[in-house]
A and B are shown apart, each in its own frame.
Chain A
Amino acid sequence: QQQVKQSPQSLIVQKGGISIINCAYENTAFDYFPWYQQFPGKGPALLIAIRPDVSEKKEGRFTISFNKSAKQFSLHIMDSQPGDSATYFCAVSFSGSARQLTFGSGTQLTVLP
């Protein structure tokens, strides 16, 4: 059973554009929703995370939008830059349990110069 569905699988955006990646989850008990960025040959790096008590969180050019009723959350990258070209993963976790993340399948983002 796929607990987190991520889309799109790949995304091509022009420099300066907005990149949007979506995730949908099944279990309403999840209450921690991070996004990770991974460059080739590197481990995933935590970008931004949100708890379900807020609908939006912004850090620099990165924003998480959270829709609890729809069980969806998304990552928006404003003013996308070629250096943002990487694979992005959403993840979910239960706050009451051990530190176990369940990841989406990843989105390969390419920002064209």
Chain B
Amino acid sequence: KAGVTQTPRYLIKTRGQQVTLSCSPISGHRSVSWYQQTPGQGLQFLFEYFSETQRNKGNFPGRFSGRQFSNSRSEMNVSTLELGDSALYLCASTAAGASYEQYFGPGTRLTVT
């Protein structure tokens, strides 16, 4: 099975712009979670989607949003970018049911200048 894929892998944006990141989960996986990784704050949970519904949300401002499509692919959007949004954004997928194993993609490295 192919792993979790994320596009683009690298992105450079300017303050004030918005950005959309994409994640394709492992085939058959229906839950997609997003995390932000920075040297200062470490790995932090952003939100999780299951069956096109946001099931849980971390402590991030409303500028961070996401959605999930019927094929389980997910996107996250960050509006009005700030320098502090520079980070590695990671997507993880989980099979439905009792599994709690999350499998991460390679991430999208976002740099805000």
Residues of chain A touching chain B, judged by Cβ–Cβ distance below 8 Å, are 32, 34, 36, 41-46, 49, 89, 93, 95, 97-106
Contacts and interface: CB of A to CB of B under 8 A. Distances in A.
Contacts of B43: 44, 89, 101, 103, 106
Nearest to A46: B101
Contact of A98 (B44, B56, B105): B56
A10 to B, nearest CB: 14
A97 B102 contact: no
B45 interface: yes
Contact of A99 (B31, B44, B90, B107): B31
Which range holds the interface residue count of chain B? 20 to 34
B103 interface: yes
Contacts of A46: 101-104
Contacts of B58: 100
Given A43-B106, A103-B42, A105-B42, A93 B33 contact: no
A106 B42 contact: yes
Contacts of B94: 99
Interface in B92-106: 92, 94, 100-106
A97 B104 contact: no
